[in-house]
Amino acid sequence: MNTFSRIIGTGGYLPKNVVTNADLEKTVNTSDQWIRERTGIEQRHVAEDGEHTVDLAENAARLAIEAAGISPQDIDLIIVATTTADQVFPSTACLLQSRLDIHGCPAFDIQAVCTGFVYGLSVADKFIRTGTSKCALVVGAETFSRIIDWTDRNTCVLFGDGAGAVVLKADNTPGILSTHLHADGDFAKLLHVPSGVSTNYPAVQEGRAYVEMAGSEVFKMAVKILGQIVDETLEANGLERQDIDWLVPHQANIRIIVATAKKLRMPMDRVVQTIAKHGNTSAASIPLALDHAVRANDIKAGELLLLEGFGGGFTWGSALIRY
Ligand code: ACO
């Protein structure tokens, strides 16, 4: 009998500290109206000093484990998707593993920026399908606020911090039906943090390693590519647009989300939307949105979900899931 992976629990966590558009009006030349109209964002959560990516990841992971009704010791694979690791090493996944008192199972980070969670889900699904793993914890966690120049209105209004998690378990019936991953490094410079450990390390040490983005170019590419990945995912599964019950998109901009929903001819009340309250939390955005809809009792067992994301790299990907 074939082995598949199923999501058996979700969790989400947002830092307590909220920064509203009105707060940003006081620090950069912007307006609540501009931010709402161009992005759909009203507020974002920003981690306090001393609150780190692993803290957010641990909170989300514990909630997912509780929802799954398992013990941390049942987990035999930990993947954390993050752009904002706590340390150069060890990985945030290893830090999380220690927090959860889990010992010996593989634990590693994945870096695909906003597509990171979909990449992590795809890798965990393959571990389970090949019989290497039986119960995987996949987390998307970010303190993206740490790589934002809070004086740059082009970027600082867009992003926030948070973490989302799922527990995936081996099952005889499919939960994850297919995943589709892509990247094209030729577009690196349209959306990047130009400084890193081996390039301009002083900027990293001094906290000046910031996101730079050619917003409107990224916007156009995101709309085009997300439309293509919707087609690719439906075609691979022999499905029609109307078969999808819920679109769970990466939350970067409400206008990108609306364009993808249009492509699917999906009414907006079947599209999970957390952008207004969360902003763009990069790798955390999709699992946070999923957890939000599951806990609101919107997404129900047996429904068909399309998760899709696009981010720096460029990277993009999707997952089709029978929940
Ligand atoms: N407040 C007021 N005005 C602003 C602000 C702001 N916060 N930011 C930019 N503007 C100005 C610009 O300076 C420009 O002014 P100008 O015409 O005088 O030059 C004007 O607004 C229009 O700027 P555009 O960049 O053309 O605005 P656009 O409609 O494209 O919206 C935005 C900008 C929101 C950034 C949009 O392009 C976007 O969402 N891009 C995609 C983001 C994304 O999807 N990222 C991918 C995932 S993120 C990741 O992977 C890390």
**Whether residue 167 is found in the same domain as residue 214:** no
Average pLDDT over residues 184-200: 96
**Using one digit for the tens of pLDDT, what is the confidence trace for 132-169?**
999 999 999 999 999 999 999 999 999 999 999 999 99
Taken in order 24, 43, 271, 54, the sign of the CA dihedral is positive
Q: Report residue 207's pLDDT band, with 50, 70 and 90 as the boundaries.
A: confident
Instruction: Output the pLDDT for position 133.
Output: 98
38 class by beta-carbon count within 10 Å (0-12 exposed, 13-18 middle, 19+ buried): middle
Domain edge (last residue) among 173, 208, 239: 173
Dist CA 119 CA 317 (whole Å): 7
**Whether residue 113 is found in the same domain as residue 215:** no
**Whether residue 193 is found in the same domain as residue 309:** yes
Residue 154 annotated in active site: no
Neighbours of 217 (CB within 10 A): 12
Contact 82, 250 (CB under 8 A): no
**Whether residue 245 is found in the same domain as residue 272:** yes
Domain edge (last residue) among 158, 173, 188: 173
Contact 117, 137 (CB under 8 A): no
Contact 38, 255 (CB under 8 A): yes
Instruction: Output the pLDDT for position 205.
Output: 87
**Whether residue 209 is found in the same domain as residue 120:** no
Contact 247, 229 (CB under 8 A): no
**Whether residue 189 is found in the same domain as residue 140:** no
The structure's pTM equals 0.97
**Whether residue 99 is found in the same domain as residue 49:** yes
Average pLDDT over residues 239-248: 96
Q: In angstroms, what is the span from residue 215 Cα to ligand 1's centroid?
A: 5
Q: Report residue 1's pLDDT band, with 50, 70 and 90 as the boundaries.
A: low
Domain edge (last residue) among 143, 158, 173: 173
Average pLDDT over residues 165-186: 97
Where in the sequence is the domain holding 258, given as residue range(s)?
178-322
Q: Cα dihedral angle (117, 181, 301, 165), rounded to 10 degrees? A: -10
**Using one digit for the tens of pLDDT, what is the confidence trace for 59-115?**
999 999 999 999 999 999 999 999 999 999 999 999 999 999 999 999 999 999 999
**Whether residue 132 is found in the same domain as residue 236:** no
Instruction: Output the pLDDT for position 263.
Output: 86
Q: Which of 124, 139, 158, 118 is nearest to 28 (CA)?
A: 158
Q: Tell me, using a 6 A CB cutoff, whether residue 311 lines ligand 1.
A: yes
Average pLDDT over residues 118-142: 98
Q: Tell me, using a 6 A CB cutoff, whether residue 257 lines ligand 1.
A: no
Give the orientation angle of helix 32-39 with respect to helix 254-263, to 10 degrees.
Answer: 20
**Whether residue 160 is found in the same domain as residue 286:** no
Q: Which residues contact 148 (CB under 8 A, 6 or more apart)?
A: 155, 156, 159, 210, 211
- Average pLDDT of the chain is 97
**Whether residue 199 is found in the same domain as residue 140:** no
Q: Which atom of ligand 1 is nearest to the CA of 280?
A: 48
Average pLDDT over residues 212-238: 95
Residue 253 annotated in active site: no
**Using one digit for the tens of pLDDT, what is the confidence trace for 313-322?**
999 999 999 9
* Protein residue with least CA distance to atom 50, ligand 1: 311
* CATH classification at residue 204: 3.40.47.10
Average pLDDT over residues 22-28: 98
**Whether residue 19 is found in the same domain as residue 98:** yes
Dist CA 187 CA 175 (whole Å): 33
* Protein residue with least CA distance to atom 30, ligand 1: 216
**Whether residue 153 is found in the same domain as residue 269:** no
What is the number of structural domains in the chain? 2
